[in-house]
């Protein structure tokens, strides 16, 4: 910010405010809101502003008389059959023949109305109060009344806000500026505090910029290290005119439990650990398909690790314990070929107390209810949550810091953690959740809605917030919500050196916003930043109902990756939404479909196994649209012509647009789903082998490889399908490899209780199912071998669709295939980084050995991959696989994944 701009802010700060000055005592009010003018009248918001001038009222009677009433004190009462009271005045509206803009194509049919030209200049001021649209009878009484969804008008009236300089608190030497976008506020002030808990030291009136809708204040000293809150006066439906004491949507840090925002220049030297400016991520990812990701929760990583000092367990600082069991595990994975750690959300969370959180100590029988009963009691006060409950997007979570009361501590410790992971040979990514907030409205943990009511969230036809994502959905189609998302991602890239992002429920965001975000983070990093996310197509935005989504099909050609459910469901069996007997009956490719039926799996036919094998081949080929192979029906089909429900199985234009996985934090772990689907008598050693088959299919698939932390140690959550709030007990990992925690009690009742009668017998048999340390060690080491095999050749990480089409060939396909064996050849001649003239991978999921042939491989000289023949190879059974050059046939032992190479 220039000195000239600071001078302008200083002058603006002296300008008179439209509201009464905020007393200093208000800043210390224990309440988070004060009602300045009460009104209990409530109305739906059925009408929609289309731009600054036009609005529409779906379902209203065309040809009626419509008037727009306004009140600066939010005192309007509009009761049918009576005349409007409490208004300061009204604007007459005219009928319009304008069509709905594409942005509002979802809005129902109704009359389009226009503000008269002579009234347009008044609208900015009127939006700072209450607006009610009334359909009037001839005598002026109310026939119907509604509020109006305002985003369309605000985005048009304040389009200049998109180019505003830095929002939030900006300290510099000798001065600090505050900027808050609140175009509907009648007044705003900033309260400043010397500490996170002491009384306010000053209150600074803010000046309104009518061009951008931002409120500005200037203080002629550097307030770095201090704290602040805003006092914002806004009209709230059902309450009246309210003064909200609220933290900053652009907070870069906070005090304990997010009570106050922290003032910091993230570029300041005192917020950088030694060596921060010089640290660089390992140069292991040359293309998006090089990414091999391990999804890890900060608290899970160390809370159960006795090799970490007690005060560091569950904290950012645990990653600095280079010789801890957990860090030795991560370093071993990095040496094998893992490229990225993806941290579950690390922004400020809404549900974890940052001080004195509960730490329950459950115990009980393997099938007991007692463990979950205790964790349910403390679910909202304990130290654990996945973190899909965003409170402040730009600030770090304080419960992972050694001192959450110190706004600087979490910044320093997070940056040190990034450096520690870099030293371990790993890049750092993070999960971000811009599709919803923890809460909205006038709740004390609501931020956005208490600054600009009704703007930042996606509203339905009556003006209520859509909640299809679980919580209060944000409206990233609105200009300033999109800007907040993009600014936030840039901040994480620039100031925390985040290498890649995983976007939660990304399909609820516009593709256009994601593409703008991609450009911004690339510019901030000075290189390409990898973006992946959940591209699920559901809810109020499904099938492009409101905009072109950042979803699986709609992102085609963008380069942004989406998780693929195609091979995932075929590998595991069933779908993520299964419950009851379906969780057992619907076996998957690796856990016995047809060839090893469980007690409920007898209804499946051979065609189901064939179809599952083909769907996994889709994933192995990177789900790219033009690739073709002979399906089980005997037809040569492109992946885009193979049906996956009502969608094409192959949906990507390039392999980097697909993320392959068989387990992540959601749903049961792979071990747990296999407990349900494998025959109960399956031995622990064989269960470990089945786990390795799932990991191998992922390792051999074109695209991005994504793994959940602990998949390699047979991690169990005791059958919990949704452990987001199940506490440390059900989310533990053992980096000493002695236990996988299967049979630690019935899973939490909220999401699993209806299935307890089904789950209880499996847990009661925990002693026969639970792996021994040797089984865990086998899976651990086999996973590292798989990482090493994938890292050994770019043939597992082909760069383009053209490469896949030209070089990948499946054999053992069609109606006569051996359905339990996946087999492929990848031609490596002339391919950069191939290391081999070609390679074949084979996965035999059956309990018996099989021999399959590839005619095109006759006469080739193939040998086992060097990883399989190394002295320390984990899977000795793989070394028994063989290739006969004369016939081009492979013999693969039971439940074995193996790779042969040509030199």
Q: How far is the C-alpha of 373 from the C-alpha of 706, rounded, in Å?
A: 33
Q: Is-catalytic flag, 534?
A: yes
Of 446, 441, 456, the residue nearest 154 (C-alpha): 456
Q: How far is the C-alpha of 663 from the C-alpha of 660, rounded, in Å?
A: 9
Q: How far is the C-alpha of 641 from the C-alpha of 565, rounded, in Å?
A: 17
Q: How far is the C-alpha of 326 from the C-alpha of 100, rounded, in Å?
A: 56
Q: Retrieve residue 781's tokens.
A: 């080491």
Q: How far is the C-alpha of 451 from the C-alpha of 788, rounded, in Å?
A: 51
∠ CA 401-330-361, nearest 5°, is 55
State the maximum Cα–Cα separation within the chain, in Å, rounded to a whole number: 97
746 secondary structure, DSSP code: P
Which residue of the set 257, 449, 504, 530 is catalytic?
504
Give pLDDT < 50 ranges for the chain.
1-18
Q: How far is the C-alpha of 677 from the C-alpha of 179, rounded, in Å?
A: 56
**192, HSE (Cβ side, Cα atoms, 13 Å):** 22
C-beta neighbour count of 249 within 10 angstroms: 27
Of 328, 275, 278, the residue nearest 301 (C-alpha): 328
296 secondary structure, DSSP code: E
Q: pLDDT value at position 15? A: 36
**Look-up: residue for tokens 């500005």?**
216
**Look-up: residue for tokens 């529409």?**
56
Q: Retrieve residue 778's tokens.
A: 């086998």
Asked if 598 and 584 touch (Cβ cutoff 8 Å), the reply is: yes
pLDDT by residue (tens digit) across 657-690? 999 999 999 999 999 999 999 999 999 999 999 9
Which residue of the set 248, 530, 534, 657 is catalytic?
534
C-beta neighbour count of 876 within 10 angstroms: 10
481 secondary structure, DSSP code: H
- Which residues have CB under 8 Å from 294's CB, separation 6+? 330, 333, 338, 340, 341, 342, 707, 708, 709
Percent of the chain with pLDDT over 70: 98
493 secondary structure, DSSP code: H
∠ CA 676-384-741, nearest 5°, is 35
**Look-up: residue for tokens 């089909």?**
637
198 secondary structure, DSSP code: S
Torsion from C-alpha of 791, 794, 796, 799, nearest 10 degrees: 130
Q: How far is the C-alpha of 761 from the C-alpha of 379, rounded, in Å?
A: 26
209 secondary structure, DSSP code: E
Q: pLDDT value at position 198? A: 95
Q: pLDDT value at position 840? A: 98
Q: pLDDT value at position 903? A: 86
Backbone angles phi, psi at 481, to 5 degrees: -75, -40
Q: pLDDT value at position 16? A: 33
Asked if 499 and 340 touch (Cβ cutoff 8 Å), the reply is: yes
**Look-up: residue for tokens 């914002």?**
232
| Bridge partners, residue 764, by sequence | none
Ranges of beta strands (E only) in 685-835 are 704-708, 808-811, 821-827
Q: How far is the C-alpha of 469 from the C-alpha of 770, rounded, in Å?
A: 35
Asked if 848 and 868 touch (Cβ cutoff 8 Å), the reply is: no
Orientation of helix 606-620 relative to helix 684-700, angle to 10° = 50
Q: Please report the DSSP string for 31-42 in residue order.
A: SSEEEEEE----
Radius of gyration from C-alpha coordinates of the chain: 30
Asked if 245 and 26 touch (Cβ cutoff 8 Å), the reply is: yes
Q: Retrieve residue 59's tokens.
A: 């379902």
3-class DSSP state of 514? helix
Q: Is-catalytic flag, 504?
A: yes
Asked if 237 and 25 touch (Cβ cutoff 8 Å), the reply is: no
Q: How far is the C-alpha of 601 from the C-alpha of 593, rounded, in Å?
A: 7
Q: Please report the DSSP string for 842-894 in residue order.
A: EEE-SSS-EEEE-GGGTT--EEE-HHHHSTT-S-TTGGG-EEETTTTEEEE-T
- Please list the alpha-helical segments (H only) found in 367-447: 370-377, 407-423
Inter-CA distances, 75 with 17, 42, 630, Å:
21, 11, 70
Asked if 725 and 747 touch (Cβ cutoff 8 Å), the reply is: no
Asked if 41 and 32 touch (Cβ cutoff 8 Å), the reply is: no
Residue 638 CB-density burial (10 A; 0-12 exposed, 13-18 middle, 19+ buried): middle
Backbone angles phi, psi at 134, to 5 degrees: -125, 135
């Amino acid at each position: 910010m220039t000195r000239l701009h600071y001078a302008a802010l200083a002058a603006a700060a002296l300008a008179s405010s439209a509201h009464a000055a905020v007393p200093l005592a208000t800043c210390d009010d224990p309440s988070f809101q004060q009602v300045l003018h009460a009104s209990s009248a409530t109305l739906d918001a059925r009408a929609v502003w289309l731009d600054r001038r036009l609005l529409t009222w779906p379902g209203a009677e065309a040809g009626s008389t419509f008037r727009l009433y306004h009140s600066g004190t939010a005192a309007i009462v509009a009761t049918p059959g009576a005349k409007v009271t409490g208004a300061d005045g009204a604007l007459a509206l005219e009928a319009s023949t304008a069509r709905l803009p594409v942005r509002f194509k979802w809005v129902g049919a109704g009359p389009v109305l226009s503000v008269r030209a002579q009234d347009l200049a008044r609208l900015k001021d009127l939006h700072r109060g209450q607006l009610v649209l009334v359909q009037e009878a001839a005598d002026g009484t109310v026939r119907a009344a509604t509020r109006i969804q305002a985003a369309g008008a605000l985005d048009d009236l304040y389009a200049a806000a998109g180019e505003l300089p830095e929002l939030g608190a900006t300290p510099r030497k000798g001065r600090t500026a505050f900027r808050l976008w609140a175009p509907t506020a009648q007044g705003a002030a900033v309260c400043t505090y010397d500490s996170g808990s002491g009384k306010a030291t000053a209150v600074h009136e803010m000046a309104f910029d009518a061009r951008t809708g931002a409120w500005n204040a200037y203080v002629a000293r550097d307030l770095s290290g201090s704290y602040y809150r805003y006092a914002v006066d806004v009209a709230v439906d059902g309450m009246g005119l309210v003064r909200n004491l609220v933290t900053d949507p652009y907070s870069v840090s906070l005090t304990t439990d997010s009570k106050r925002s922290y003032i910091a220049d993230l570029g300041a030297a005192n917020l950088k650990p030694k060596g921060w400016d010089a640290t660089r991520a390992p140069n292991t990812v040359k293309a998006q398909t090089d990414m091999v990701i391990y999804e890890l929760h900060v608290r899970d990583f160390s809370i159960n690790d006795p090799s970490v000092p007690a005060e560091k367990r569950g904290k950012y600082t645990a990653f600095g314990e280079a010789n801890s069991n957990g860090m030795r595990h991560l370093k071993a994975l990095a040496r094998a070929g893992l490229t990225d750690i993806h941290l579950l959300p690390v922004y400020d969370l809404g549900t974890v107390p940052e001080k004195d959180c509960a730490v329950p100590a459950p115990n009980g029988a393997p099938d007991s209810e007692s463990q979950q009963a205790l964790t349910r009691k403390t679910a909202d006060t304990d130290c654990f949550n996945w973190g899909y409950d965003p409170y402040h997007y730009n600030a770090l979570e304080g419960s992972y810091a050694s001192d959450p009361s110190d706004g600087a501590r979490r910044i320093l410790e997070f940056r040190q953690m990034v450096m520690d992971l870099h030293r371990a040979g790993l890049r750092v990514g993070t999960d971000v959740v811009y599709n919803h907030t923890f809460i909205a409205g006038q709740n004390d943990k609501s931020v956005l809605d208490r600054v600009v009511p009704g703007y930042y969230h996606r509203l339905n036809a009556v003006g209520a917030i859509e909640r299809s994502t679980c919580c209060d959905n944000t409206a990233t189609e609105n200009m300033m919500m999109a800007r907040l998302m993009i600014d936030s991602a840039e901040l994480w890239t620039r100031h925390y050196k985040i290498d890649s992002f995983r976007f939660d429920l990304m399909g609820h965001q516009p593709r256009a916003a994601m593409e703008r975000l991609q450009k911004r983070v690339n510019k901030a990093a000075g290189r390409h930043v990898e973006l992946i996310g959940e591209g699920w197509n559901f809810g109020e935005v499904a099938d492009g109902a409101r905009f072109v989504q950042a979803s699986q099909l709609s992102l085609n050609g963008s380069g942004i990756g989406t998780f693929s459910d195609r091979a995932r469901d075929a590998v595991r069996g069933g779908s993520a939404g299964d419950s009851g007997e379906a969780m057992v009956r619907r076996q998957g490719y690796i856990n016995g479909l047809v060839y090893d039926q469980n007690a409920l799996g007898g209804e499946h036919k051979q065609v189901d196994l064939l179809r599952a094998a083909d769907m996994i081949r889709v994933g192995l080929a990177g789900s790219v649209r033009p690739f073709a192979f002979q399906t089980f029906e005997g037809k040569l089909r492109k992946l885009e012509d193979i049906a996956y429900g009502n969608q094409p199985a192959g949906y990507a234009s390039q392999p980097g647009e697909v993320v392959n996985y068989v387990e992540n934090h959601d749903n049961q772990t792979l071990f747990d789903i296999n407990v349900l689907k494998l025959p109960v008598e399956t031995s622990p050693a064989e269960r470990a082998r089945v786990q390795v088959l799932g990991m191998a299919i992922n390792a051999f698939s074109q695209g991005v490889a994504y793994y959940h932390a602990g998949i390699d140690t047979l991690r169990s959550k005791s059958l919990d399908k949704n452990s987001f709030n199940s506490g440390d007990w059900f989310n533990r990992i053992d980096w000493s490899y002695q236990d996988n925690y299967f049979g630690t009690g019935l899973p939490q009742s909220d999401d699993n209780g209806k299935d307890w009668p089904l789950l209880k017998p499996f847990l009661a048999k925990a002693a026969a199912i639970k792996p021994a340390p040797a089984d865990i060690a086998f899976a651990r080491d086999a996973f590292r071998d798989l990482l090493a095999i994938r890292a050994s050749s770019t043939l597992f990480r082909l760069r383009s669709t053209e490469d896949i089409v030209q070089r990948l060939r499946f054999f053992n396909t069609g109606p006569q295939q051996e359905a339990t064996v996946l087999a492929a050849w990848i031609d490596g001649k002339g391919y950069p980084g191939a290391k081999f003239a070609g390679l074949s991978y084979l996965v035999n999921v059956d309990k018996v050995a099989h021999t399959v042939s590839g005619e095109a491989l006759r006469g080739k000289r193939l040998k086992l991959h060097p990883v399989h023949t190394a002295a320390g190879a984990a899977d000795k059974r793989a070394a028994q696989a063989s290739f006969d050059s004369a016939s081009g046939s492979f013999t693969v032992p039971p439940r074995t994944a193996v790779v042969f190479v040509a030199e």
